[in-house]
Structure 1
């Protein structure tokens, strides 16, 4: 089964997302911020990244852009998972290279469906 890197700075959200994905058969690696995520991407080579947007230091949008500009990670699917629920936020995420956008709060099926849609 695939490995998902979850980038989330809120412990309760991290736990929820991790539980949902593990219950659906995924291996989950966690990162508390985008800088840690970049290190873990090169270390663990996950199949998918699920990232929050608002985090200290580098935002999820910046993380997505950074991954998509790097030839080694440009094909790595990125799912932006955010409480920002305006259409402009979703469009901006896609412009940064995001492959899917999930709005918080979400149900387990919403998250798993998004991961399955980009996991190949």
Structure 2
């Protein structure tokens, strides 16, 4: 809702497998994802996007409740561009998204 109110077009996908098949059909401008998801972790998806799909230029921003330094480090090491810890402010989200688009 925050991004839509900020004027962004948002496609929401809750199942990792569906996201991967959608990425084949339509290259996103930016990807927001959590680390903890059903079936696959966000870290696994990030690695797959970066290596298998060769979307090196598509920014990936992690949004997660995991707030340990190790989680942040590992998410960025797997190919993420930014990491916001939940709860995050709407302003932080909008500013982070704008900085990568």
Aligned partner of 1:30 among 12, 15, 22:
12
1:101 aligns with 2:83: yes
Aligned length: 101
Residue pairs, 1:1-120, within 5 angstroms:
19-70=1-52, 72-119=54-101
Q: What's the CA shift string for 1:8-40, capped at 9, x where partnerless?
A: xxxxxxxxxxx0011111100011122111112
Q: CA deviation at 1:97?
A: 0.4
Tell me the SS of whatever aligns to 1:28. coil
Q: Which runs of 5+ in 1 are unaligned?
A: 1-18
SS of residue matched to 1:101: strand
Higher fraction of strand: 1
Query: In 2, Cα distance between the equivalents of 1:90 and 1:20?
Result: 23
Q: Where do 4+ consecutive residues of structure 1 move more than 3 Å?
A: none
What TM-score comes out, normalization by structure 1 length?
0.79
Give the TM-score, by structure 2 length: 0.93
**Counterpart of 1:79 in 2: which secondary structure?**
strand
Q: Is the 8 A contact 1:31 1:40 kept in 2?
A: no
Q: Could you tell me how far 1:112 is from its partner in structure 2? A: 1.1
Report the Cα offset of residue 53 of structure 1: 1.0
